[in-house]
Structure 1
Amino acid sequence: MGAGITFGHHLLKLLVNPGRQRFERHLGELESVQRARLSRWLAAASRAPAWQKHGLRADWSWEEFVRRIPISTYADYAEGLAEQRERQQSWLIDSPVARYQPTSGSTSAVKWIPYTKLFLDELDQVISAWVGDLYAQYPGQAGGTHYWSLSWIPTALRAQTAGDINDDMKMLSWGKRALAYLTQAVPQEVALAETLEDSLFATVAYLCADESLGFISVWSPTFGLNLLEHMSAWRQELAEALLHGQWGARTARMAGVRCPRSDRAARLLRQWNGELDPGFFQALWPKLAVVSAWDTAAAAPWAKALQNKLPHAGFQGKGLWATEGVVTFPFQGKYPLAYLSHVYEFIDAQDERVLAPWQLREGQDVIPVFTTGSGLARYRMNDVLRVSDFLGQVPCFTFLGRNDGVDLVGEKISATTAQSILDGLPEDDSVLPVTLLAIDQMEGGRPGYVLLAESFGNQAVATKAQALSDHLESALQGHFHYKLARELGQLQPAQCLLCADMRELYLDLCRQRGMIEGNIKVEPLRHWPGTLPDSLRPLLRA
């Protein structure tokens, strides 16, 4: 096993190093590289029915492309992509579709992004540079196995997706993927288990059994914490499974996935009191060299909490990745634009000017727009970045947050979604919604959503609060990423807090936060950093 891991790392490093070197070599050629990326995209898109209708030509210049093609959102593609997916045809770009990846939307209206060969080639460019730099920055992780988290799908959507859709390794080219699998701590087949909980149990079992674990990559740090908490809650069941190499009562739901066996891990789990003690995790994973997760904006406190549980390992942030494409990634301690991948533009957050990447200046706050090998053209994201630095001519960024709502753990709830949920509350003249708070840390330690509402009269307040809480949770679970976060245990159940003077209580809380009286707005959705305010705690249901 050890020799195979070392051999796999050696060959994978040889394969990804050219990508790292290529990224470094062209740092002084941003404009020419980006114009070449656009020419490549135009050649493929001009052969596709969707863009032929717009008169798109392969010989357009950057300036002509920007003038003729408007900035877009998913709504501009939804109908055509649904038909493309149903007919299994290449409508949006002339490149074979390997699979469709779901992103935000409700469970009945999921956004499906086509992962074409051209798009996967673009992702391979950035992953090669990232992994190559990872070997250079953290050489210790090359001595152990890797865990790359799966792109988890809620249980209710699993029947609509292919088994391999959950595997982030599918973003690599086949050669690098084959070598990466030699180093993996958790087999991709765990995604085939019948339920999300069973997949998580199998994942945790494999991680517990792996004394050689050297690298953990998760997207949300709350998911990483959740894995550790699951390990604690399931420690006796895990110990039994690892001692005998059998899934026990879960066997029928495991889709034939082999159960690992480890007397050592079983013994440690049986002796463990369940406290998330750094000493226990160091004993379990003595070779863990680095943990990678989101660590900016709302994720920052949770990244710190994850680091505190695994202090013997280094930590690396993720940069800005979305299902639709990648903008930045960690490289040499910074987060540069993935300029070798997609075609990029940026909207100035102050004056709405649209800028080419070579026109950016340090200190600007911008919103990314990209054109990708999936066929999306001038696709606007809803994230705000600040130009923090440069590598050669290539801008580096700091992630500031979402532009259109709240994203505590990847659940992506917008202000318009919150407003529609408030509008859909049961009619009751004795209750008036004030705002929906997205709170970083609730009583149970996880983030969650709390509806503040004003109650007129004292009749059945507790019953009304419970009914509104149930309605709120049900409405929020109608949205794909919220439902997924709840199934993964990353969010507390939503709650409604009722009291007679809620509006004034809320305004007073805003004043205490230093907000200017005349500028305080009662909005449908507000991110509330930190914990639930003390003045609201007595209103929580027992």
Structure 2
Amino acid sequence: MKASLINKAWLLSQKSLSKQFHQNAHHCQQTQDLILKQYLQLNATTDFGKKHQFDRLKSYQDYVQNVPVIEEFSEMENFINDMKSGRENVLFAGKTLFFETTSGSGSTPKFIPYNTRLKKEFKAAVAVWMWDLYRTDPKIFSGKAYWSLSPALKETSTTSGGISIGTGDDSAYFDPVTAFLLKQIFAVPPQLNKIQDVHEFYIQTWCYLLRASNLSFISVWSPQFLLRLMDFFVENFQQIRKESGMSLARADLVWRAIEEKHLSLDLLFSGLKLISCWTQGHSKIWIKKLKEITGAVPIQGKGLLATEGVVSVPLGMNQHVLSYTSHFYEFKSEEGKVCMADALRQGETYEVIITTGGGLYRYNTHDLVKCSGFYKSVPCLEFLGRSGNISDLVGEKLAESSLVEIFHQALSTFPSIEALYLYSERQQHMAGYVLVIESSTTIECDNIVRFVEEQMMTNPYYKQAISSGQLNLLKAASVDGDFTRRLTRYYQSTKGIKDGDLKLPLLFPSGFLDPILK
């Protein structure tokens, strides 16, 4: 069956969920109230529900008074351990289908339980996204698609209770019919995920991609993953050419583009219509570099979707809307006040708190979002970064989320810069920060440091720390154009993060970068 027909069958299965989202968008809060009520009723007899008297909770106010906000995943460890042992009706009614692991901002893996309801909630979000893309440009679904795959970090394992840990591919998040249809249009088969040899994984990935002459859609998480894919292609072109069976004419064309340093994805895949990846938060600073390899292919920013749940979905190319039909959401203001979606104010910043069908209750994701407006009554959200990565040596309260825009401006102002990072260090009897400047050419570090520090001075706490002599002025460390690649490998090996899930920090603690700076 042709990919276009399979795509259409899959998309038609998403239409009703998308229609429901748009029709009820004037009634965001009523929908949210209903979702919370369903959670409380469905899970009243679970261990968590009994502990927090779900059967007596009749309103949002009751929920707030009886269930505290969970600031750290470790607070749920006893419940999760019971579920890993195979117990049912712990956090949600019924059994656990599988666990997905994520490191978050810490080094200890978090085990996120999945059930049928949580999978439906993910499907509700993806349906809105996919149908909107189809209405925008049906040609995006005219051929095969590449959905994110990463080389395996370890062999498949199970918990003590025999529950699977990890999924083979993105289709595992969906219902069986959707998963079946998705697998028919995948350009790269999910089985490749089982390959543990990283080099062989990328060779085989490229072989499958190059044989997909009708590739029309690429969906990955991190833009750095696509950059890594293209770097690997250039470095290993001769082996990929042989194993993929590339024709001589095509190989000559590609080789000339490599030599002339203008190889792009639209040259490799003439039918490619859209690339979907993160474009906000940390990923924002990589978009300039990504556009150098995408050619004329447009890039759509993904919504805010994590292993724990989905927060927003993209509508059009620039709007990200709260996925209000998926989970129940709360938002914590900068002053520490918690409110529901209907109380958000445009221009203000919040941390996202989610309650899901997968057994997370008032869980603070520590994702920072800014309310950028509204779609009918539904808040539109811009992802700023994580709230957890803050350096505070002497009271300067330097947040990584504030560095994103500063570094983005610096990269635009100084085109020779390839990447920027910041780390703290003890300098004799003082403390200070070092700006790591990556470039393949000779650069004027003083001008770049001056520009970045002027922007950092808009933080009154940082400015006061400098003015009072508690912090030294910003220093520079110039590194070659291979630094990000080495840092990526080091960070992934240290944290145990898969290629496709990588969110490389911009702010590092003292000593962390020492092994690769020496």
TM-score per shorter chain, which class? Answer: 0.7 to 0.9
CA distance in 1 between partners of 2:423 and 2:219 (Å) = 30
CA deviations 1:361-399 (Å, max 9, x no partner) are 222221111100111101112122111111111111112
1:16 alignment partner, one of 14, 17, 31: 14
1:330 alignment partner, one of 286, 290, 314: 314
CA distance in 1 between partners of 2:231 and 2:464 (Å) = 36
C-alpha spacing 1:228/1:343, structure 2 compared with 1 (3 Å): same
1:61 matched residue in structure 2 = 59
2:74 matched residue in structure 1 = 75
Shift of 1:148: 0.9
Instruction: Indicate conservation of the 8 Å contact 1:277/1:309, yes or no.
Output: no
1:125 matched residue in structure 2 = 124
1:44 alignment partner, one of 28, 42, 45: 42
CA deviations 1:240-298 (Å, max 9, x no partner) are 2112xxxxxxxxxxxxxxxxxx5479735873563585555323200000001111133
Shift of 1:95: 3.4
C-alpha spacing 1:318/1:265, structure 2 compared with 1 (3 Å): farther
CA distance in 2 between partners of 1:233 and 1:80 (Å) = 47
CA distance in 2 between partners of 1:190 and 1:510 (Å) = 42
C-alpha spacing 1:220/1:108, structure 2 compared with 1 (3 Å): closer
CA deviations 1:115-149 (Å, max 9, x no partner) are 11111111111111111111112322111111110
The number of aligned residues is 441
1:321 partner SS: coil
Instruction: Indicate conservation of the 8 Å contact 1:369/1:379, yes or no.
Output: yes
CA distance in 2 between partners of 1:49 and 1:163 (Å) = 22
Higher deviation after alignment, 195-204 or 360-369: 195-204
Q: Describe how 1:100-115 pairs up with structure 2 within 5 A.
A: 100-104=99-103, 109-115=108-114
CA deviations 1:311-339 (Å, max 9, x no partner) are 22121101211111111110244211100
Matched letter for residue 169 of structure 2: D
1:16 partner SS: helix
CA distance in 2 between partners of 1:163 and 1:4 (Å) = 34
Report whether the alignment pairs 1:89 with 2:88.
yes
Matched letter for residue 314 of structure 1: P
1:454 matched residue in structure 2 = 427
CA distance in 2 between partners of 1:115 and 1:209 (Å) = 34
C-alpha spacing 1:330/1:355, structure 2 compared with 1 (3 Å): same
CA distance in 2 between partners of 1:283 and 1:510 (Å) = 36
CA distance in 2 between partners of 1:312 and 1:281 (Å) = 9
Q: How much identity, in percent, do the aligned residues show?
A: 24
C-alpha spacing 1:347/1:534, structure 2 compared with 1 (3 Å): closer
C-alpha spacing 1:522/1:264, structure 2 compared with 1 (3 Å): farther
1:368 alignment partner, one of 349, 352, 362: 352
Report whether the alignment pairs 1:383 with 2:367.
yes
C-alpha spacing 1:512/1:368, structure 2 compared with 1 (3 Å): closer
C-alpha spacing 1:149/1:275, structure 2 compared with 1 (3 Å): farther
Q: Describe how 1:142-541 pairs up with structure 2 within 5 A.
A: 142-150=141-149, 152=150, 155-156=153-154, 159=157, 162=164, 165-243=167-245, 262-263=246-247, 267=251, 271-272=255-256, 274=258, 277-278=261-262, 280-333=264-317, 334-349=319-334, 351-405=335-389, 415=391, 445=418, 450=423, 452-454=425-427, 511-513=453-455, 515=457, 519-520=461-462, 535-537=476-478
Higher deviation after alignment, 277-286 or 79-88: 277-286
Shift of 1:166: 3.6
Instruction: Indicate conservation of the 8 Å contact 2:152/2:195, yes or no.
Output: no
Instruction: Indicate conservation of the 8 Å contact 2:151/2:197, yes or no.
Output: no
1:312 partner SS: coil
What residue ranges of structure 1 are gaps of 5+ in the alignment?
Answer: 244-261, 406-413, 420-436, 457-491, 493-504, 524-532
Matched letter for residue 341 of structure 2: P
CA deviations 1:206-239 (Å, max 9, x no partner) are 1122221101111111111111111111211111
C-alpha spacing 1:157/1:102, structure 2 compared with 1 (3 Å): farther
C-alpha spacing 1:197/1:113, structure 2 compared with 1 (3 Å): farther
Shift of 1:453: 4.8
2:55 partner SS: coil
Shift of 1:109: 2.8
Matched letter for residue 47 of structure 2: P
C-alpha spacing 1:509/1:522, structure 2 compared with 1 (3 Å): farther
1:520 partner SS: helix
C-alpha spacing 1:187/1:400, structure 2 compared with 1 (3 Å): same
Instruction: Indicate conservation of the 8 Å contact 1:163/1:192, yes or no.
Output: no
Higher deviation after alignment, 85-94 or 154-163: 154-163
What is the TM-score normalised by the length of structure 2? 0.75
Shift of 1:105: 5.7
C-alpha spacing 1:41/1:415, structure 2 compared with 1 (3 Å): farther
